[in-house]
Amino acid sequence: MRDRLAIALGKVAGSLTRVLRLGGGTAIPGLTALKLSPGILERLLEAIPQGFVFVTGTNGKTTTAAMLSRILSAAGHEVLNNRTGSNLARGLVSHLIQRTSSLGGLKVQPNSIGVFEVDEAALIAILPHAHPRVLLLTNLFRDQLDRYGEIDSISKEWGRVIHASGKSLHVVLNADDPAVVHAGARGQGDISTYGVQAALDARVPDEWADSASCPLCSAQLHYRGLTFSHLGDYTCPDCGFERPAPGFAATEVDSVGLNPARFTLRRGDSLDRIDLDPPGLFNVYNALAAAAAASALDISAEDVKTGLEGFRPAFGRAERLVVDGVELVFLLVKNPAGANEVLRSLRQDPEPANYLMALNDRAADGEDVSWIWDIDFDGLMAKSIVATGDRAEDLALRLKYAGLSDAESVIVDANSESALSRILRSAGQVKILATYTAMLELRKLLVERGVLDPYWIE
């Protein structure tokens, strides 16, 4: 009864904000309903017939959740997802409320299953009140520390809530991330692991890497091989903590520049060649994560392959668009690890490119822009660069110290509209690197020019 009232009022609050154009319409219904009935999230989730999966971590949540959804659809499930920016409790409730009938019941089919991305900090509050079948942990990178706090404390808190979830929780974790293994291994139920097993150079982690010390004893980890940042095949020289052998491994990885990534998916004795559409090692990780989670849900290897190969990149993840003969490639950058992986791909392209780089410092981007000093711009081949966004000047200064302003012209234009016009005058391809709100802004401008569909889902 209380839930029905909460849902009804949540819906009313949602339509009021839309009608009155107050903005923030995605959070309001959930916020209202949670106020009136604090247990509502748990009960709405329990009503999903085939249960649900939580996907959490710093990078790759959105893409991994989308890949997993694609696999589950291929297997004949109806999949419930949450939309961008709503990966906190209120966003989840808002989303589920939209799917309720006037009597307050969830309108779903018997084969419905949920795949929800959950903010890595929010997981700590949500998990004790939810019972996912599978919890998928992607990675922990430094991301907008001004908002979240530090990697160690999140890893510790994850471990606590995962342990408290008991035996019914199946944890799927990235074996290549020491902080994730440390947390996920506290699970009391099944644990599946995934990782990249390709021939890798034994290297020392880059200085900007986030978590290259042992989560148990703080010694510097030794890496037999690194993929990027602190992800790889590690072992602690002091206490013996080491990477568990991944149950789902990517071998024979073929990922060059912005070309589609290909890899062999190995689980036990079975091998599957997977041709992804999106590029980069990051997406190999995302695909592995989705495959491991799908298997935890008893999905067949065939459906996994079909789903992964049918997947197309979402908003800003190497998505392409042609405007007036200029091809735009959208590359969303949110933190040093993600940005460095994008730049690594870009350096593999032998042709110098035109770049539009946009740095904002709003809440969703992180107000602290110091992280750009952890991005390796060195060696980037650029014909021209336009720097824009709230912190265009910081970006231009970073490019100067990376040696890019010596050879190429860096134009600073803080106004995104004229920056976009400027770069559209270049011939050939333009690569757009932008932080979250800067990307939204650029897309809005393209919608206004009538070259982009206004409706999109991340």
Check binding of 392 to another protein (CB under 8 A): yes
Q: Which long-range contacts (CB under 8 A, 24 or more apart) does 278-282 make?
A: 278/63, 278/311, 278/312, 278/313, 278/317, 278/318, 279/255, 279/318, 279/345, 280/255, 280/318, 280/341, 280/342, 280/345, 281/196, 281/227, 281/228, 281/253, 281/255, 281/341, 282/59, 282/60, 282/338, 282/341
373 binds, among another protein, Zn ion, none (CB under 5 to 8 A by kind): another protein
Chain residues in the site for Zn ion (CB under 5 A): 214, 216-217, 219, 236, 238-239, 241
Of 190, 275, 393, 448, the one binding another protein by CB under 8 A: 393
Report the half-sphere exposure of 412 (CA within 13 A, side-chain side): 13
Check binding of 330 to another protein (CB under 8 A): no
CB distance 114 to 79 below 8 Å: yes
Candidates 276-284, 348-356, 371-379, 442-450; binding stretch for another protein (CB under 8 A): 371-379
302 binds, among Zn ion, another protein, none (CB under 5 to 8 A by kind): none
Candidates 112-120, 210-218, 242-250, 337-345; binding stretch for another protein (CB under 8 A): 210-218
Check binding of 400 to another protein (CB under 8 A): yes
Task: Report residue 23 as tokens.
Answer: 């903005």
Q: How far is the CB of 154 from another protein (least distance, A)?
A: 11
405 binds, among Zn ion, another protein, none (CB under 5 to 8 A by kind): another protein
Q: Given the DSSP bridges, would you call strands 260-267 and 270-279 parallel, antiparallel or unpaired?
A: antiparallel
Residue 4's SS3 state is: helix
Compute the distance between CA of residue 83 and CA of residue 345 in angstroms, rounded to an integer: 28
CB distance 404 to 382 below 8 Å: yes
Check binding of 320 to another protein (CB under 8 A): no
Compute the distance between CA of residue 55 and CA of residue 293 in angstroms, rounded to an integer: 9
Per-residue x/- track, 412-431, another protein (CB under 8 A) = x-------------------
Task: Report residue 341 as tokens.
Answer: 């992986």
Sign, CA dihedral 172-177-180-184, equals positive
Cα dihedral: 246, 154, 439, 176 (round 10): -20
Q: How far is the CB of 85 from Zn ion (least distance, A)?
A: 37
Q: How far is the CB of 430 from another protein (least distance, A)?
A: 23
Candidates 265-273, 325-333, 397-405, 420-428; binding stretch for another protein (CB under 8 A): 397-405
Q: How far is the CB of 203 from another protein (least distance, A)?
A: 13
Q: How far is the CB of 243 from Zn ion (least distance, A)?
A: 12
Check binding of 238 to another protein (CB under 8 A): no
Per-residue x/- track, 339-368, another protein (CB under 8 A) = ----------------------x-----xx
Check binding of 405 to another protein (CB under 8 A): yes
Name the strands in the sheet holding 317-323, side by side, starting at the edge strand that comes first in the sequence.
317-323, 326-332, 429-434, 353-358, 382-388, 409-412
Q: How far is the CB of 181 from Zn ion (least distance, A)?
A: 12
Residue 337's SS3 state is: helix
Of 61, 70, 90, 142, the one binding another protein by CB under 8 A: 142
Check binding of 173 to another protein (CB under 8 A): no
Compute the distance between CA of residue 39 and CA of residue 22 in angstroms, rounded to an integer: 27
233 binds, among another protein, Zn ion, none (CB under 5 to 8 A by kind): none
Check binding of 207 to another protein (CB under 8 A): yes
Sign, CA dihedral 30-138-61-48, equals negative
186: phi then psi, degrees, rounded to nearest 5:
-80, -5
Candidates 93-101, 141-149, 160-168, 184-192; binding stretch for another protein (CB under 8 A): 141-149
Check binding of 391 to another protein (CB under 8 A): yes
Q: How far is CA 439 from CA 65, 250, 256, 315, in A?
A: 21, 31, 24, 9
* Residues near another protein, by CB under 8 A: 142, 145-146, 150-153, 205, 207-209, 212-213, 218, 220, 336, 361, 367-374, 391-394, 396-398, 400-401, 405, 412
